[in-house]
Amino acid sequence: MTQITPQLLQQWLADGKRKPPVLLDVREPWEYQTCRIEGSMLAPMNTIPARVPELDRDRDTVVICHHGVRSYQVGMFLERYGFSNLYNLKGGVNAWADQVDPTMPRY
């Protein structure tokens, strides 16, 4: 799993020549409702084991949480299931709000 900074993720999402990654947000529903990166998919951490079959092992996937800890744990879990194109958003949505979108609500 690779760590990706908010700035690099922003550049990736803006690059029309690259296929966008799956943005896998592993926070709780109330957190996701408070703020989220546009285009992200909610999959709370505790639902990941049951949702592995619906995720594409070959697609670039950026795992997202509040500060980057839960997403890192989920990424490590997914690696054990054969996922190889995984990125952890370093600092999570909190860092995204600090470095990319200062208008994003915080909690």
Q: Which of 4, 65, 86, 95 is catalytic?
A: 65
Active-site annotation holds for 65: yes
Pair 21, 62: CB distance under 8 Å: yes
- Distance (Å, whole) CA 78 – CA 80: 5
Query: Using CA atoms, how far apart are residues 79 and 95, in angstroms rounded to an integer?
Result: 24
The dihedral formed by the CA atoms of 51, 59, 83 and 61, expressed in degrees to the nearest 10: -70
Give catalytic residue positions. 65
